[in-house]
Amino acid sequence: MRCGAGACASAVLAAAALLAAGLPACTTGTGKEEVQPRPELSADRELQTRRFEGISEEKLLAASVSVLQDLGFTIKVSNAEIGIATGIKDREAKAPEQRAAVIVLMILLTAASGRPPPTGDMKEEQTVRVLVTTRPVSGSSDAHEVRVTFHRFLRQPLVVEAGSLRDPRLYEGFFELLSKAIFLEAHRL
Amino acid sequence: MNRTSAIFTVAAIACIAALSSCASSPERGVLSSPESQLKLRSIQSRAYDTTDRQMVLRGVVATLQDLEFMIEAADAALGMVTARKLLLPRGTPLGSDLMLTVTVRPRGERQMLVRLNAEFNRRAVEDPEVYQSFFLALGRSLFMSGHEVD
């Protein structure tokens, strides 16, 4: 049996896809690493938390939900009794270095099969999930804390990645918007 | 058989071997005896000396957020939270998907019982260390230790 360059490349890509699809289901382990807090937990918590005074917990959660709506999130779970709200947003990923990788892959696949791959296979998508929690500050009657955490699931032809987002600008930006929302609500602007 | 077809044959056998090694029997995951069910339930449960269910639920949520889980469902009236942590590090096809369901309900007149069910990569977790680690983190969040229950 002879194998042309195109057929070989296709077979290798198919084998890689088969392994990538099958192996996650048979990874060893029981998840004990996933229930260990990160060593940087204190720093993470500081970045993800802000304290607000002179506002009820319910209004603070409502203002947080309003910011998530402004950012294009769809609210999936909310419970004012225990102070939580979650949102989800599906968007196209637009990182330039990833676009370059997609172009290279398209060239390789075209060379391997002799025709361009369907554009549906080349989608670059990401799902961002956000969790907002509120809670009273102990020892204070009108102070509350808001904590926000972002996670991303990136799906691209060459990159599949999932995990927490840690860029401080993301968290600072959220709290800036939340502060404005609370100010506007307080002054009814 | 030339060199190319030999390479493909070896690769195909390796793929089949790798994937078939992951296969489990249909019986796997079904607990064999009531004793083992009781033992697992004991591993999954802790009792806390408080009657404040909402405080415990908030502690559960704070712990899940500390551990970087996303909340998938929550019902304060039922005292239930379901959360998920999906990790796929860049550059590797090997990921992890941990689902947790936590329930909080009164136990007697002075305690709250927290029960945790964990599923890792779509398989029930029976490793006690997973549950111990979670309850350790929950204890830090609640500023109290849980008691083992029978």
Domains of chain B: 29-148 (3.30.310.80)
The answer as to whether A17 is a domain residue is no
DSSP tag of B103: E
Listed by number, the residues of chain B in 64-103 with a beta carbon closer than 8 Å to a beta carbon of chain A are 65-68, 70-77, 85-90, 93-98
Q: Is the ipTM of this complex over 0.90?
A: no
The answer as to whether A174 is a domain residue is yes
Which residues of B are less than 8 Å from A20 in CB distance? 93
Residue of A2, A12, A18, A30 for testing the chain B interface, max B β-carbons within 10 Å: A30
Domain, as residue range, for A129 = 41-187
The answer as to whether A12 is a domain residue is no
The answer as to whether A133 is a domain residue is yes
Instruction: Give the integer Cα–Cα distance in Å for A175 and B47.
Output: 37
Q: Give SS3 for A25.
A: helix
**How do residues B94-148 score in pLDDT, each as one tens digit?**
788 999 999 999 999 999 999 999 999 999 999 999 999 999 999 999 999 999 9
Query: How many beta carbons lie within 10 A of that of residue B9, not counting itself?
Result: 12
Query: Does residue A113 register a pLDDT over 90?
Result: no
Place of tokens 């949102």: A87
**How do residues A45-61 score in pLDDT, each as one tens digit?**
999 999 999 999 999 99
The answer as to whether A21 is a domain residue is no
**How do residues A79-89 score in pLDDT, each as one tens digit?**
999 999 999 99
**How many domains is chain A partitioned into structurally?**
1
Q: Give SS3 for B126.
A: coil
DSSP tag of A117: P
Burial of A27 (0-12, 13-18, 19+ CB in 10 A): middle
Pick the residue from chain B with its C-alpha nearest to A40: B66
Taking 3-state DSSP, the helix, strand and coil percentages for chain A, each rounded to the nearest 5, stand at 45, 25, 25
Place of tokens 């005074």: A53
Q: What is the CATH number of the domain that holds A108?
A: 3.30.530
pTM given for the model: 0.76
